[in-house]
Each structure stands twice: as C-alpha cells, then as structure tokens.
Amino acid sequence: MKPFPPWLEVHPEVAAALRQGRPVVALESSLIAQGLPWPHNLKAARMAEGAVRGQSAVPATIAVVQGRPTVGLSDLALEELARPEAEVLKLSRRDLAVAVAQGRTGGTTVAATMHLACCAGIRVFATGGIGGVHRAPAGSVADPWDVSADLHELARTPVAVVCSGAKSILDIPRTLEMLEALSVPVIGYRTDDFPAFYLSSSGQRVPQRMDRLDQAAALLAIHWHLGGAGTVLAQPVPAELALAPDEWATALAAAEQRASEQGVRGAKLTPFLLQQLAELTQEKTLRANIALVVANARLAAQLAAELTGKV
C-alpha cells in the first residue's frame, strides 16, 4: 500500500490493519458531534465501533483533532467530541483546510469522512444516511442549489458507503435522480425499495438489488477497476424501529414549520430537524437512528471482509 500522507494522523491499530490487508471500516464523527444528543451520541459511537469489532474488523472513526485530520480515535477522543460543552465544528470536505489552518477540532460529515478515508486507503464507510437534495420549505419553491456535498463526493471518491439510504427529510426522488446523473451505483441490500433513514421505504425502487455480500463485493471491485468512484449500499432500518409513514409525515411537517419560523437554513438545518423530530416522536427517531447506525456498521464490516484481496 502507499504511505500515508504526512498531514494525516492514522491510529496505530488502523495503520497496522491496513498494512496487513485486514478489513477496516471508516465511521463519521459529525453524527457524534452534531447528529445526536448527549449521552446518546457517545453510546452510538461506541456501539458502532463495537459492531465493527464484532465482525473481526477494525473501526476507524474519523475527525479533525486540534487541526490534525485523524483516522481512528481513542475512546477519550470520542468522548471529547461527544461532550455538549465541546466546541466542535461541523466539517464537510470544503471545511477541512479551515479547521487545519486554525487548529480546530471538528466532526466530519459523509463527504469529509469519505475523502479522509480514501486518503488513508480505506474503501468501506458506514453511516446512518447520506445527504442529498433538500425539500422545498412549505409554501416555497425548491432551491436547485440546496444539494449536499455528499453527492458530489460520491461522484469522485472510490469509497463504498453503507447506509440506510438518504435522510428522510430530503427529496428522495430528486436525490436518486442526481445520483444517477453523477454515475453513482445505488444497491439495495436485500431490498427492492430505496430506504429513507427512519422509513423502511422511500417509495422509490433501487436500481440494483443484491442479496449476497460476495456479489456486492465483486460489483464494487469491478466498478473501481473500471475507474468508478463512490457507491451506495443501502439497507433498511431494523423493521421493529421503522416509523410509520403517516406518523413521520406529521412530525416532519411540524419540524419544518419550526425551522421556517426560526429561519434555520444551510448546515444548521439537518441537525435542527433531527433534534425537533426526536422531540416530536417521543425519541422514536433517536432510537431508530442509533439502531440503523449500528446495523450499518456491522454490515460494512462484513463487506470490508468480503473485499479483502479483491481491491
């Protein structure tokens, strides 16, 4: 393998696993710093890492720590990111240089985590749900530029993202259309329907279904050998924790109304909506979020093992 970039801090356990060709799974840290409330965020981070280890793979949670892009965090570093009093930036790929230049600490989004994982030589990344095309606020016209950087990162970075589809707060049909336009393969794992984070189905079909991870690994290897970039492997939230569509629609409408009234937009919108939804659903969304993150980490570890020796 290639040497690590000098500006990248790689945890010794992660570095050893990569050099030995053992399976490694990248995990994001924006979920810890901005996505979930304390202490659920720390619990989810530890459970996700435990799920990866339970499949004999090595977890590599990624963040920027005091200006140093870091692949693989200690338990103390996880807790420091999770603490509510911590001053932790939310970092997409465009924000990485700012955090490094200013010596700041930040949680990495899907886009930033994919980029740093690729720089370290990690090919599999587990998260809750990818970003996408945002819905128009009630009574307004959709902003054609309100699109997550996650989609563009998927178009250029050869990392497989294991997730529960796209976040339920998004315009899923437009998100899938953009993924198609960006040549990003979308695979449903044991499902014909594209999942929508808290919902088992978005009502949209997946372009490709696969029921075996060895088949998915073979497809990924071929995709990358052909010069392809990112891919999405989507599995639904555990059925017993999925929200009913009517309940979800009611809660989302109320959360979006609150966001509109308070003028919440941009990078602050998704964390705000997730917080409001947890309150409006009596923490059903919170429990579903933790469960799907852990399930995706487990599946990603299994996929990483299948990819060993293929890429």
Catalytic residues: 28, 167
Given the DSSP bridges, would you call strands 9-10 and 58-65 parallel, antiparallel or unpaired? unpaired
Q: Are 115 and 93 in contact (CB under 8 A)?
A: yes
The C-alpha atoms of residue 87 and residue 93 are separated, in whole angstroms, by: 19
% helix, strand, coil for the chain, step of 5 = 50, 15, 35
Structure tokens at 191: 């499902």
Q: Are 46 and 36 in contact (CB under 8 A)?
A: no
Structure tokens at 118: 């690729």
SS3 122: coil
> Which DSSP letter does residue 199 get?
B
Give the bridge partners for 27, in sequence order: 61, 126
